[in-house]
A and B are shown apart, each in its own frame.
Chain A
Amino acid sequence: MGKTTAEKIFAAHRRDNPSGENVVLDLDVVMCHEITTPIAINDLVERGLDRVFDPTKIKVVIDHVTPSKDSKTATQAKILREWAHRQNIKDFFDVGANGVCHALFPEKGFIRPGNTVIMGDSHTCTHGAFGAFAAGVGTTDLEVGILKGVCSFRLPATMKVNINGTLPDGVYAKDVILKIIKDLTVNGATDKVMEFVGPVVDEMTMESRMTLCNMAIEAGATCGICMPDRVTAEYLWPFISGAYSTVDEAVADFSKWHSDADADYDSEITFDVAELVPQVTYGFKPDEVKDVPDMEGTPVNQVYIGSCTNGRIEDLREAAKILQGRTLAPGVRGILAPATPLVYSTALAEGIIQIFMAAGFCVTNPTCGACLGMSNGVLAAGEVCASTTNRNFNGRMGKGGMVHLMSPLSAAAAAVKGCITDPRNI
Protein backbone atom coordinates (compact mmCIF):
# COMPACT_ATOMS: atom_id res chain seq x y z
CA MET A 1 0.00 0.00 0.00
CA GLY A 2 1.32 3.43 -0.93
CA LYS A 3 1.51 6.43 1.35
CA THR A 4 0.02 9.92 1.35
CA THR A 5 2.27 12.98 1.60
CA ALA A 6 1.39 13.38 5.28
CA GLU A 7 2.18 9.72 5.98
CA LYS A 8 5.56 10.06 4.27
CA ILE A 9 6.36 13.17 6.33
CA PHE A 10 5.28 11.41 9.53
CA ALA A 11 7.41 8.37 8.69
CA ALA A 12 10.45 10.57 8.07
CA HIS A 13 10.06 12.51 11.34
CA ARG A 14 8.85 9.90 13.80
CA ARG A 15 10.59 10.24 17.17
CA ASP A 16 8.26 8.14 19.28
CA ASN A 17 4.99 6.22 19.32
CA PRO A 18 3.52 6.85 22.76
CA SER A 19 0.41 4.89 21.77
CA GLY A 20 -1.05 3.15 18.76
CA GLU A 21 -2.83 6.34 17.73
CA ASN A 22 -0.28 8.98 18.63
CA VAL A 23 3.12 9.83 17.24
CA VAL A 24 5.71 12.31 18.39
CA LEU A 25 7.39 14.06 15.48
CA ASP A 26 10.74 15.82 15.19
CA LEU A 27 10.17 19.40 14.05
CA ASP A 28 12.00 21.25 11.27
CA VAL A 29 10.51 24.68 11.94
CA VAL A 30 8.96 26.22 15.07
CA MET A 31 7.44 29.63 14.42
CA CYS A 32 6.56 32.18 17.08
CA HIS A 33 4.60 35.42 17.31
CA GLU A 34 4.00 37.86 20.12
CA ILE A 35 0.45 36.83 21.05
CA THR A 36 0.90 33.17 21.99
CA THR A 37 4.65 32.93 22.67
CA PRO A 38 5.29 35.32 25.61
CA ILE A 39 3.24 33.18 28.01
CA ALA A 40 5.25 30.14 26.84
CA ILE A 41 8.50 32.02 27.43
CA ASN A 42 7.42 33.19 30.90
CA ASP A 43 6.41 29.66 31.83
CA LEU A 44 9.70 28.17 30.62
CA VAL A 45 11.61 30.81 32.59
CA GLU A 46 9.58 30.08 35.72
CA ARG A 47 10.28 26.37 35.39
CA GLY A 48 14.01 26.98 34.98
CA LEU A 49 13.82 25.69 31.39
CA ASP A 50 14.75 28.88 29.53
CA ARG A 51 16.43 27.13 26.58
CA VAL A 52 15.66 26.39 22.93
CA PHE A 53 16.29 23.12 21.09
CA ASP A 54 17.91 24.77 18.06
CA PRO A 55 17.93 28.55 17.48
CA THR A 56 18.29 28.10 13.71
CA LYS A 57 14.98 26.24 13.52
CA ILE A 58 13.00 28.87 15.40
CA LYS A 59 11.49 31.77 13.43
CA VAL A 60 10.10 34.74 15.31
CA VAL A 61 7.99 37.71 14.31
CA ILE A 62 6.01 40.46 15.97
CA ASP A 63 3.01 40.75 13.68
CA HIS A 64 -0.39 40.80 15.34
CA VAL A 65 -0.19 44.23 16.94
CA THR A 66 2.73 46.17 15.53
CA PRO A 67 3.99 48.82 16.13
CA SER A 68 2.74 48.15 19.66
CA LYS A 69 -0.45 50.06 20.49
CA ASP A 70 -0.35 50.15 24.28
CA SER A 71 1.64 49.04 27.31
CA LYS A 72 0.34 45.48 27.24
CA THR A 73 1.18 44.82 23.59
CA ALA A 74 4.52 46.61 24.05
CA THR A 75 5.27 44.21 26.91
CA GLN A 76 4.42 41.20 24.73
CA ALA A 77 6.75 42.50 22.02
CA LYS A 78 9.48 43.16 24.57
CA ILE A 79 9.29 39.64 26.04
CA LEU A 80 9.57 38.14 22.55
CA ARG A 81 12.35 40.50 21.44
CA GLU A 82 14.50 39.93 24.51
CA TRP A 83 14.00 36.18 24.31
CA ALA A 84 14.99 36.03 20.63
CA HIS A 85 18.13 37.99 21.48
CA ARG A 86 18.94 35.91 24.57
CA GLN A 87 18.45 32.62 22.70
CA ASN A 88 20.52 33.78 19.72
CA ILE A 89 17.60 33.41 17.30
CA LYS A 90 18.74 35.16 14.14
CA ASP A 91 15.48 34.95 12.22
CA PHE A 92 13.64 37.53 14.29
CA PHE A 93 11.53 40.17 12.55
CA ASP A 94 10.74 43.40 14.37
CA VAL A 95 9.11 46.69 13.34
CA GLY A 96 10.30 47.69 9.89
CA ALA A 97 11.10 44.12 8.84
CA ASN A 98 7.98 42.41 10.14
CA GLY A 99 4.85 41.21 8.42
CA VAL A 100 2.03 38.71 8.87
CA CYS A 101 3.69 35.42 9.89
CA HIS A 102 2.10 33.15 7.28
CA ALA A 103 3.03 35.55 4.49
CA LEU A 104 6.47 36.55 5.77
CA PHE A 105 7.97 33.14 6.60
CA PRO A 106 7.18 31.54 3.21
CA GLU A 107 8.63 34.61 1.48
CA LYS A 108 11.88 34.07 3.40
CA GLY A 109 12.07 30.49 2.12
CA PHE A 110 11.79 28.97 5.60
CA ILE A 111 9.30 26.27 4.61
CA ARG A 112 10.40 23.39 2.38
CA PRO A 113 8.64 20.32 1.02
CA GLY A 114 8.58 17.49 3.52
CA ASN A 115 9.03 19.80 6.54
CA THR A 116 7.23 19.51 9.86
CA VAL A 117 6.14 22.93 11.07
CA ILE A 118 4.25 24.17 14.12
CA MET A 119 3.24 27.58 15.40
CA GLY A 120 0.97 28.84 18.13
CA ASP A 121 -1.45 29.98 15.48
CA SER A 122 -4.28 28.09 13.85
CA HIS A 123 -3.55 29.32 10.32
CA THR A 124 -0.18 27.56 10.31
CA CYS A 125 -1.94 25.16 7.92
CA THR A 126 -1.07 27.78 5.25
CA HIS A 127 2.46 26.36 4.90
CA GLY A 128 1.15 23.03 3.67
CA ALA A 129 1.06 24.81 0.30
CA PHE A 130 4.76 23.88 0.07
CA GLY A 131 4.12 20.16 0.58
CA ALA A 132 4.89 20.44 4.29
CA PHE A 133 2.98 19.18 7.31
CA ALA A 134 2.21 22.42 9.11
CA ALA A 135 -0.17 22.64 12.04
CA GLY A 136 -1.39 25.24 14.48
CA VAL A 137 -0.87 24.34 18.12
CA GLY A 138 -1.51 25.78 21.56
CA THR A 139 1.00 27.35 23.90
CA THR A 140 1.98 24.12 25.67
CA ASP A 141 2.76 22.37 22.37
CA LEU A 142 4.70 25.48 21.40
CA GLU A 143 6.68 25.37 24.65
CA VAL A 144 7.61 21.75 24.13
CA GLY A 145 8.45 22.51 20.49
CA ILE A 146 10.77 25.34 21.57
CA LEU A 147 12.38 23.27 24.30
CA LYS A 148 12.58 19.80 22.74
CA GLY A 149 11.90 20.19 19.02
CA VAL A 150 9.04 17.69 19.09
CA CYS A 151 5.25 17.71 18.90
CA SER A 152 2.62 15.00 19.29
CA PHE A 153 -0.06 14.31 16.71
CA ARG A 154 -2.57 11.62 16.01
CA LEU A 155 -1.81 9.60 12.89
CA PRO A 156 -2.98 11.66 9.93
CA ALA A 157 -6.11 10.68 8.04
CA THR A 158 -6.04 12.36 4.66
CA MET A 159 -9.02 13.73 2.74
CA LYS A 160 -8.25 14.04 -0.96
CA VAL A 161 -9.84 17.17 -2.42
CA ASN A 162 -9.87 17.09 -6.23
CA ILE A 163 -10.39 20.50 -7.80
CA ASN A 164 -11.26 20.12 -11.45
CA GLY A 165 -12.17 22.45 -14.30
CA THR A 166 -10.83 25.91 -15.12
CA LEU A 167 -11.37 28.94 -12.89
CA PRO A 168 -13.77 31.38 -14.58
CA ASP A 169 -12.85 35.08 -14.79
CA GLY A 170 -13.33 36.89 -11.50
CA VAL A 171 -13.16 33.67 -9.47
CA TYR A 172 -10.13 32.96 -7.29
CA ALA A 173 -8.61 30.55 -4.79
CA LYS A 174 -10.58 32.35 -2.05
CA ASP A 175 -13.86 31.58 -3.79
CA VAL A 176 -12.82 27.95 -4.22
CA ILE A 177 -11.96 27.44 -0.57
CA LEU A 178 -15.10 29.25 0.63
CA LYS A 179 -17.18 26.91 -1.53
CA ILE A 180 -15.32 23.87 -0.20
CA ILE A 181 -15.89 24.98 3.41
CA LYS A 182 -19.56 25.62 2.65
CA ASP A 183 -19.95 22.05 1.41
CA LEU A 184 -17.84 20.39 4.11
CA THR A 185 -19.05 22.60 7.01
CA VAL A 186 -16.76 23.95 9.74
CA ASN A 187 -16.44 20.45 11.19
CA GLY A 188 -16.15 18.48 7.95
CA ALA A 189 -12.40 17.95 7.98
CA THR A 190 -11.72 17.88 11.73
CA ASP A 191 -8.59 15.85 12.58
CA LYS A 192 -7.88 15.40 8.87
CA VAL A 193 -5.25 16.57 6.43
CA MET A 194 -6.84 18.13 3.34
CA GLU A 195 -4.79 17.28 0.28
CA PHE A 196 -5.61 19.69 -2.56
CA VAL A 197 -4.97 18.19 -6.00
CA GLY A 198 -6.16 18.45 -9.58
CA PRO A 199 -5.68 20.74 -12.56
CA VAL A 200 -6.87 23.89 -10.80
CA VAL A 201 -4.28 23.48 -8.04
CA ASP A 202 -1.56 22.58 -10.57
CA GLU A 203 -2.23 25.89 -12.32
CA MET A 204 -2.23 27.95 -9.11
CA THR A 205 0.63 30.19 -8.02
CA MET A 206 2.15 29.61 -4.59
CA GLU A 207 0.19 32.65 -3.37
CA SER A 208 -3.10 31.06 -4.43
CA ARG A 209 -2.13 27.69 -2.95
CA MET A 210 -1.41 29.47 0.34
CA THR A 211 -4.87 31.08 0.23
CA LEU A 212 -6.36 27.61 -0.29
CA CYS A 213 -4.39 25.94 2.51
CA ASN A 214 -4.83 28.94 4.84
CA MET A 215 -8.51 28.25 5.29
CA ALA A 216 -8.26 24.45 5.70
CA ILE A 217 -8.56 25.05 9.46
CA GLU A 218 -11.96 26.69 8.86
CA ALA A 219 -13.22 23.24 7.84
CA GLY A 220 -11.52 21.86 10.96
CA ALA A 221 -8.50 20.37 9.15
CA THR A 222 -5.14 19.93 10.84
CA CYS A 223 -3.31 20.95 7.69
CA GLY A 224 -3.86 21.66 4.01
CA ILE A 225 -1.31 20.15 1.64
CA CYS A 226 -0.43 20.76 -2.03
CA MET A 227 1.99 18.55 -3.96
CA PRO A 228 5.37 20.29 -4.27
CA ASP A 229 6.10 20.79 -7.97
CA ARG A 230 7.76 23.15 -10.45
CA VAL A 231 5.74 26.11 -9.15
CA THR A 232 7.05 25.34 -5.65
CA ALA A 233 10.61 24.91 -6.87
CA GLU A 234 10.57 28.17 -8.82
CA TYR A 235 9.17 30.08 -5.84
CA LEU A 236 11.85 28.62 -3.57
CA TRP A 237 14.68 28.82 -6.10
CA PRO A 238 16.54 31.79 -4.53
CA PHE A 239 16.78 29.74 -1.32
CA ILE A 240 17.49 26.28 -2.72
CA SER A 241 19.80 27.04 -5.63
CA GLY A 242 22.74 25.98 -3.48
CA ALA A 243 21.24 22.56 -2.87
CA TYR A 244 20.20 21.75 -6.46
CA SER A 245 21.99 22.46 -9.72
CA THR A 246 18.76 23.04 -11.67
CA VAL A 247 15.07 23.64 -11.01
CA ASP A 248 14.40 20.30 -12.74
CA GLU A 249 16.55 18.55 -10.19
CA ALA A 250 14.61 20.18 -7.35
CA VAL A 251 11.29 19.24 -8.97
CA ALA A 252 12.43 15.62 -9.27
CA ASP A 253 13.58 15.56 -5.65
CA PHE A 254 10.36 17.15 -4.39
CA SER A 255 8.34 14.42 -6.05
CA LYS A 256 9.45 11.98 -3.38
CA TRP A 257 6.94 13.71 -1.10
CA HIS A 258 4.01 13.24 -3.48
CA SER A 259 1.24 10.92 -2.37
CA ASP A 260 1.58 7.53 -4.05
CA ALA A 261 -1.00 6.56 -6.65
CA ASP A 262 -2.14 3.67 -4.45
CA ALA A 263 -2.19 5.71 -1.22
CA ASP A 264 -5.01 4.98 1.17
CA TYR A 265 -7.25 8.01 1.70
CA ASP A 266 -9.69 8.47 4.55
CA SER A 267 -12.11 10.09 2.12
CA GLU A 268 -12.20 11.81 -1.24
CA ILE A 269 -14.28 14.68 -2.60
CA THR A 270 -14.36 16.37 -5.98
CA PHE A 271 -15.22 19.93 -6.96
CA ASP A 272 -15.66 21.29 -10.43
CA VAL A 273 -15.06 25.03 -10.54
CA ALA A 274 -16.19 25.65 -14.13
CA GLU A 275 -19.54 27.12 -12.97
CA LEU A 276 -18.27 28.66 -9.72
CA VAL A 277 -19.17 32.30 -9.09
CA PRO A 278 -17.63 34.67 -6.49
CA GLN A 279 -18.42 33.52 -2.94
CA VAL A 280 -19.08 35.45 0.28
CA THR A 281 -19.92 34.58 3.88
CA TYR A 282 -23.14 35.90 5.39
CA GLY A 283 -23.12 34.77 9.06
CA PHE A 284 -20.74 34.19 11.94
CA LYS A 285 -19.31 30.89 10.71
CA PRO A 286 -16.97 30.41 7.74
CA ASP A 287 -19.28 27.74 6.28
CA GLU A 288 -22.17 30.21 6.03
CA VAL A 289 -21.41 31.02 2.43
CA LYS A 290 -23.51 32.29 -0.47
CA ASP A 291 -22.91 33.28 -4.07
CA VAL A 292 -22.05 36.98 -4.23
CA PRO A 293 -25.04 37.73 -6.51
CA ASP A 294 -27.32 36.43 -3.71
CA MET A 295 -25.91 39.08 -1.35
CA GLU A 296 -25.94 41.88 -3.94
CA GLY A 297 -26.64 45.26 -2.38
CA THR A 298 -25.70 44.43 1.24
CA PRO A 299 -24.26 47.76 2.49
CA VAL A 300 -20.76 47.89 3.97
CA ASN A 301 -19.06 50.51 6.16
CA GLN A 302 -15.50 49.29 5.79
CA VAL A 303 -13.42 47.31 3.32
CA TYR A 304 -10.35 45.51 4.61
CA ILE A 305 -7.76 44.07 2.24
CA GLY A 306 -4.91 42.21 3.89
CA SER A 307 -4.11 39.25 6.21
CA CYS A 308 -2.41 35.90 5.80
CA THR A 309 -5.24 34.82 3.52
CA ASN A 310 -5.22 37.60 0.95
CA GLY A 311 -2.62 40.27 1.69
CA ARG A 312 -0.06 39.09 -0.86
CA ILE A 313 1.06 40.88 -3.99
CA GLU A 314 -1.22 39.00 -6.40
CA ASP A 315 -4.17 39.87 -4.15
CA LEU A 316 -3.28 43.56 -4.26
CA ARG A 317 -2.85 43.37 -8.04
CA GLU A 318 -6.32 41.89 -8.45
CA ALA A 319 -7.94 44.51 -6.21
CA ALA A 320 -6.07 47.29 -8.01
CA LYS A 321 -7.63 46.20 -11.32
CA ILE A 322 -10.98 47.36 -9.97
CA LEU A 323 -9.72 50.34 -7.97
CA GLN A 324 -7.76 51.79 -10.88
CA GLY A 325 -9.42 55.10 -11.79
CA ARG A 326 -12.21 54.62 -9.24
CA THR A 327 -12.83 55.87 -5.72
CA LEU A 328 -14.41 54.56 -2.55
CA ALA A 329 -18.18 54.88 -2.47
CA PRO A 330 -19.33 57.75 -0.21
CA GLY A 331 -19.29 56.75 3.46
CA VAL A 332 -17.09 53.68 2.96
CA ARG A 333 -13.71 53.39 4.66
CA GLY A 334 -10.99 51.41 2.86
CA ILE A 335 -8.00 49.87 4.63
CA LEU A 336 -5.13 48.13 2.90
CA ALA A 337 -2.60 46.20 4.99
CA PRO A 338 0.05 44.72 2.68
CA ALA A 339 1.04 41.46 4.37
CA THR A 340 4.82 41.95 4.31
CA PRO A 341 7.40 44.67 3.65
CA LEU A 342 8.23 42.95 0.33
CA VAL A 343 4.57 42.99 -0.70
CA TYR A 344 4.45 46.67 0.29
CA SER A 345 7.58 47.67 -1.60
CA THR A 346 6.61 45.64 -4.66
CA ALA A 347 3.17 47.27 -4.65
CA LEU A 348 4.85 50.68 -4.36
CA ALA A 349 7.15 49.92 -7.29
CA GLU A 350 4.23 48.72 -9.42
CA GLY A 351 2.14 51.82 -8.67
CA ILE A 352 -0.45 49.75 -6.81
CA ILE A 353 -0.16 51.70 -3.56
CA GLN A 354 -0.84 54.87 -5.56
CA ILE A 355 -3.98 53.29 -7.02
CA PHE A 356 -5.25 52.38 -3.55
CA MET A 357 -4.45 55.83 -2.18
CA ALA A 358 -6.04 57.62 -5.12
CA ALA A 359 -9.14 55.53 -4.49
CA GLY A 360 -9.18 56.84 -0.93
CA PHE A 361 -7.75 53.84 0.96
CA CYS A 362 -5.72 54.14 4.12
CA VAL A 363 -2.54 52.09 3.72
CA THR A 364 -1.24 50.61 6.99
CA ASN A 365 2.04 48.91 7.75
CA PRO A 366 2.22 45.12 7.38
CA THR A 367 0.35 43.65 10.39
CA CYS A 368 -2.61 41.43 11.26
CA GLY A 369 -4.45 44.59 12.23
CA ALA A 370 -8.20 44.42 11.91
CA CYS A 371 -8.24 40.70 11.04
CA LEU A 372 -8.58 39.71 14.68
CA GLY A 373 -9.88 43.01 15.93
CA MET A 374 -6.82 43.96 17.94
CA SER A 375 -5.80 47.12 16.07
CA ASN A 376 -5.99 49.11 12.81
CA GLY A 377 -9.62 48.95 11.81
CA VAL A 378 -11.75 47.55 14.62
CA LEU A 379 -15.48 47.85 13.89
CA ALA A 380 -18.05 49.59 16.06
CA ALA A 381 -21.20 47.70 17.00
CA GLY A 382 -23.56 47.47 14.05
CA GLU A 383 -20.85 48.10 11.45
CA VAL A 384 -20.22 45.83 8.48
CA CYS A 385 -16.89 45.01 6.84
CA ALA A 386 -16.16 43.43 3.47
CA SER A 387 -12.94 41.62 4.26
CA THR A 388 -10.33 39.43 2.58
CA THR A 389 -9.51 37.74 5.90
CA ASN A 390 -10.43 34.20 6.96
CA ARG A 391 -12.72 34.42 10.00
CA ASN A 392 -16.15 35.93 10.45
CA PHE A 393 -16.76 34.84 14.05
CA ASN A 394 -19.08 37.00 16.12
CA GLY A 395 -16.96 39.82 17.54
CA ARG A 396 -13.87 38.90 15.53
CA MET A 397 -13.25 42.38 14.13
CA GLY A 398 -14.85 44.18 17.07
CA LYS A 399 -17.79 43.53 19.36
CA GLY A 400 -21.10 43.80 17.51
CA GLY A 401 -19.46 44.04 14.08
CA MET A 402 -20.24 41.88 11.06
CA VAL A 403 -17.55 40.56 8.72
CA HIS A 404 -18.24 39.24 5.22
CA LEU A 405 -15.34 37.17 3.89
CA MET A 406 -14.61 37.40 0.18
CA SER A 407 -11.86 37.59 -2.43
CA PRO A 408 -9.73 40.73 -2.95
CA LEU A 409 -11.56 41.38 -6.22
CA SER A 410 -14.97 41.17 -4.53
CA ALA A 411 -13.74 43.38 -1.66
CA ALA A 412 -12.51 46.01 -4.12
CA ALA A 413 -15.87 45.88 -5.88
CA ALA A 414 -17.62 46.43 -2.54
CA ALA A 415 -15.32 49.39 -1.89
CA VAL A 416 -16.31 51.26 -5.02
CA LYS A 417 -20.03 50.36 -4.85
CA GLY A 418 -20.51 50.68 -1.08
CA CYS A 419 -22.20 47.31 -0.94
CA ILE A 420 -21.53 43.68 -1.70
CA THR A 421 -21.63 43.39 -5.47
CA ASP A 422 -20.57 41.02 -8.21
CA PRO A 423 -17.04 42.08 -9.22
CA ARG A 424 -17.55 40.61 -12.70
CA ASN A 425 -20.00 43.42 -13.48
CA ILE A 426 -17.53 46.23 -12.81
Chain B
Amino acid sequence: MKNFSGSALFLDRSDINTDEIIPAKYLTENSKQDLKPFILEDLTLAGFDQSRDIDKAGVIVTRANFGCGSSREHAVWVFEVNDINVVIAEGFARIFRQNMFNCGMLAIELPAADIDTIMAMGADVQIAVDLEAATLTAKGNQEVTFDFDLNSFDKDLVGAGGWLAYADSKY
Protein backbone atom coordinates (compact mmCIF):
# COMPACT_ATOMS: atom_id res chain seq x y z
CA MET B 1 0.00 0.00 0.00
CA LYS B 2 1.09 3.55 -0.68
CA ASN B 3 2.11 6.22 1.82
CA PHE B 4 -0.99 8.19 2.82
CA SER B 5 0.57 10.98 4.84
CA GLY B 6 2.62 14.10 4.38
CA SER B 7 2.80 17.82 4.28
CA ALA B 8 -0.38 19.54 3.06
CA LEU B 9 -0.42 21.70 -0.05
CA PHE B 10 -3.47 23.98 -0.09
CA LEU B 11 -5.02 24.69 -3.48
CA ASP B 12 -7.76 27.04 -2.36
CA ARG B 13 -10.00 27.12 -5.42
CA SER B 14 -12.90 25.09 -6.82
CA ASP B 15 -13.06 23.50 -10.28
CA ILE B 16 -9.32 22.92 -10.75
CA ASN B 17 -9.35 21.00 -14.02
CA THR B 18 -7.21 18.28 -15.52
CA ASP B 19 -5.71 20.62 -18.12
CA GLU B 20 -4.37 22.70 -15.23
CA ILE B 21 -3.05 19.58 -13.49
CA ILE B 22 -1.30 18.28 -16.61
CA PRO B 23 -1.63 20.10 -19.95
CA ALA B 24 -2.61 18.08 -23.04
CA LYS B 25 0.72 18.70 -24.73
CA TYR B 26 2.34 16.27 -22.31
CA LEU B 27 -0.08 13.46 -23.16
CA THR B 28 2.40 12.20 -25.73
CA GLU B 29 4.66 10.92 -22.94
CA ASN B 30 4.52 7.16 -22.67
CA SER B 31 6.00 6.89 -19.19
CA LYS B 32 4.48 8.13 -15.95
CA GLN B 33 7.87 9.29 -14.63
CA ASP B 34 8.32 11.63 -17.59
CA LEU B 35 5.25 13.59 -16.46
CA LYS B 36 6.86 14.52 -13.13
CA PRO B 37 8.15 18.07 -13.82
CA PHE B 38 4.89 19.23 -15.42
CA ILE B 39 2.61 18.87 -12.38
CA LEU B 40 0.08 21.71 -12.08
CA GLU B 41 2.00 23.62 -14.75
CA ASP B 42 -0.99 25.60 -16.01
CA LEU B 43 -2.46 26.35 -12.58
CA THR B 44 -2.38 30.05 -11.82
CA LEU B 45 -3.42 30.53 -8.22
CA ALA B 46 -2.41 33.28 -5.81
CA GLY B 47 0.18 31.95 -3.36
CA PHE B 48 0.95 28.81 -5.39
CA ASP B 49 4.46 28.43 -6.77
CA GLN B 50 5.02 25.11 -8.50
CA SER B 51 8.83 25.20 -8.24
CA ARG B 52 8.68 25.94 -4.50
CA ASP B 53 5.64 23.97 -3.30
CA ILE B 54 5.65 20.56 -4.96
CA ASP B 55 8.83 19.04 -3.50
CA LYS B 56 7.58 19.07 0.07
CA ALA B 57 3.93 18.32 -0.64
CA GLY B 58 2.51 14.90 0.28
CA VAL B 59 -1.23 15.62 0.46
CA ILE B 60 -3.34 18.05 -1.58
CA VAL B 61 -6.15 19.90 0.20
CA THR B 62 -8.56 21.68 -2.10
CA ARG B 63 -12.14 22.76 -2.74
CA ALA B 64 -15.08 21.54 -4.88
CA ASN B 65 -15.12 19.63 -8.17
CA PHE B 66 -11.40 18.88 -8.20
CA GLY B 67 -10.13 17.17 -11.36
CA CYS B 68 -12.96 18.19 -13.65
CA GLY B 69 -12.54 18.05 -17.40
CA SER B 70 -10.61 15.41 -19.27
CA SER B 71 -10.54 11.70 -18.37
CA ARG B 72 -6.73 11.64 -18.54
CA GLU B 73 -5.35 9.44 -15.77
CA HIS B 74 -2.12 11.38 -16.29
CA ALA B 75 -3.67 13.84 -13.80
CA VAL B 76 -3.49 11.12 -11.14
CA TRP B 77 -0.12 9.70 -12.23
CA VAL B 78 1.52 13.12 -12.09
CA PHE B 79 0.60 13.25 -8.38
CA GLU B 80 1.71 9.64 -7.86
CA VAL B 81 5.17 10.22 -9.36
CA ASN B 82 5.52 13.30 -7.15
CA ASP B 83 4.76 11.15 -4.05
CA ILE B 84 1.34 12.70 -3.52
CA ASN B 85 -1.11 9.85 -2.94
CA VAL B 86 -3.95 11.64 -1.16
CA VAL B 87 -6.21 14.45 -2.33
CA ILE B 88 -8.69 15.87 0.18
CA ALA B 89 -11.47 17.98 -1.32
CA GLU B 90 -15.03 19.15 -0.84
CA GLY B 91 -15.80 17.07 -3.92
CA PHE B 92 -14.33 15.49 -7.04
CA ALA B 93 -15.21 15.11 -10.67
CA ARG B 94 -16.34 11.50 -11.11
CA ILE B 95 -13.62 10.29 -13.47
CA PHE B 96 -10.76 11.83 -11.47
CA ARG B 97 -12.07 10.33 -8.25
CA GLN B 98 -12.43 6.89 -9.81
CA ASN B 99 -8.96 7.14 -11.35
CA MET B 100 -7.48 7.83 -7.89
CA PHE B 101 -9.00 4.69 -6.34
CA ASN B 102 -8.25 2.71 -9.51
CA CYS B 103 -4.57 3.52 -8.88
CA GLY B 104 -4.83 2.56 -5.21
CA MET B 105 -4.76 6.22 -4.16
CA LEU B 106 -7.14 8.15 -1.91
CA ALA B 107 -9.67 10.80 -2.94
CA ILE B 108 -11.20 11.90 0.36
CA GLU B 109 -14.28 14.10 0.56
CA LEU B 110 -14.78 16.39 3.55
CA PRO B 111 -17.44 19.07 4.14
CA ALA B 112 -16.44 22.65 3.28
CA ALA B 113 -16.26 23.58 6.97
CA ASP B 114 -13.65 20.88 7.62
CA ILE B 115 -11.58 22.07 4.65
CA ASP B 116 -11.81 25.59 6.12
CA THR B 117 -10.55 24.26 9.45
CA ILE B 118 -7.55 22.51 7.86
CA MET B 119 -6.66 25.52 5.73
CA ALA B 120 -6.77 27.73 8.84
CA MET B 121 -4.18 25.62 10.70
CA GLY B 122 -1.22 27.60 9.41
CA ALA B 123 1.27 27.16 6.61
CA ASP B 124 2.82 23.90 7.86
CA VAL B 125 0.15 21.24 8.27
CA GLN B 126 0.98 17.53 8.49
CA ILE B 127 -1.73 15.08 7.48
CA ALA B 128 -1.95 11.38 8.27
CA VAL B 129 -4.70 9.00 7.14
CA ASP B 130 -5.85 5.96 9.09
CA LEU B 131 -7.52 3.79 6.46
CA GLU B 132 -8.93 1.20 8.86
CA ALA B 133 -10.60 3.83 11.02
CA ALA B 134 -11.48 6.05 8.03
CA THR B 135 -10.12 9.07 9.84
CA LEU B 136 -7.49 11.65 9.04
CA THR B 137 -5.51 13.75 11.43
CA ALA B 138 -4.30 17.21 10.53
CA LYS B 139 -1.59 18.73 12.72
CA GLY B 140 -0.68 22.40 12.39
CA ASN B 141 -1.11 25.06 15.02
CA GLN B 142 -3.69 22.64 16.43
CA GLU B 143 -4.47 18.96 15.91
CA VAL B 144 -7.85 17.79 14.67
CA THR B 145 -9.10 14.38 13.58
CA PHE B 146 -11.84 14.08 10.96
CA ASP B 147 -13.99 11.10 9.98
CA PHE B 148 -14.56 10.48 6.31
CA ASP B 149 -16.72 8.12 4.28
CA LEU B 150 -14.90 5.25 2.62
CA ASN B 151 -17.11 2.67 1.02
CA SER B 152 -16.04 -0.95 1.13
CA PHE B 153 -15.39 -1.21 -2.61
CA ASP B 154 -13.11 1.84 -2.67
CA LYS B 155 -11.29 0.47 0.36
CA ASP B 156 -10.88 -2.90 -1.36
CA LEU B 157 -9.41 -1.16 -4.43
CA VAL B 158 -6.80 0.56 -2.27
CA GLY B 159 -6.09 -2.72 -0.46
CA ALA B 160 -5.67 -4.59 -3.75
CA GLY B 161 -3.33 -1.90 -5.10
CA GLY B 162 -5.88 -0.73 -7.67
CA TRP B 163 -8.69 -1.84 -9.97
CA LEU B 164 -6.60 -3.87 -12.39
CA ALA B 165 -5.29 -6.18 -9.69
CA TYR B 166 -8.77 -6.37 -8.13
CA ALA B 167 -10.54 -7.11 -11.41
CA ASP B 168 -7.91 -9.55 -12.64
CA SER B 169 -8.34 -11.71 -9.56
CA LYS B 170 -12.13 -11.46 -9.47
CA TYR B 171 -13.53 -11.40 -13.04
Residues of A within 8 A of B (CB): 15-16, 18-22, 24, 35-36, 38-39, 42-43, 47, 49, 65, 70, 72-73, 75-76, 79, 119-122, 124, 136-141, 143-144, 147-148, 150, 152, 154, 186-187, 190-191, 220, 222, 285, 372-374, 391, 393-396, 399
Interface size, chain B (Cβ < 8 Å)? 44
CA distance A74 to B39 in the complex (A): 24
Q: Roughly how many angstroms separate A72 CA and B73 CA in the complex, as a whole number?
A: 18
Q: Interface on B for A, CB 8 Å cutoff?
A: 14-15, 17, 19-20, 23-25, 27-30, 32, 42, 44, 64-65, 68-73, 76, 91-95, 98-99, 102-103, 151-153, 156, 162-164, 167-168, 170-171
B163 touching A190 by the CB < 8 A rule?
no
CB of A190 within 8 A of CB of B91, answer yes
Q: Known: A144-B167, A150-B171. Is A136-B95 also a contact (CB below 8 A)? A: yes
Given contacts A35-B28, A152-B163, 11 further A-B contacts (CB under 8 A): A18-B152, A21-B153, A76-B28, A138-B72, A138-B76, A140-B99, A186-B15, A187-B15, A373-B25, A394-B42, A395-B42
The answer on a CB contact under 8 Å between A186 and B167 is no
In this complex, what residue of A is CB-closest to B96? A138
Give the distance to chain B from A146, nearest Cβ to Cβ, in Å: 10
* A140 with B162: CB separation less than 8 A: yes
17 contacts between A and B (CB under 8 A): A16-B171, A18-B153, A70-B28, A79-B30, A119-B71, A140-B73, A140-B162, A140-B164, A144-B163, A152-B98, A186-B65, A190-B92, A191-B94, A220-B68, A391-B69, A393-B17, A395-B42
- Is there an interface contact between B30 and A75, defined as CB atoms closer than 8 Å? yes
* Beta-carbon nearest neighbor of B149 in chain A: A21
How far apart sit A47 and B165, CA to CA, in the bound complex (Å)? 10
Residues in B neighbouring A65, C-beta threshold 8 A: 28
Q: Are B65 and A220 in contact (CB under 8 A)?
A: yes
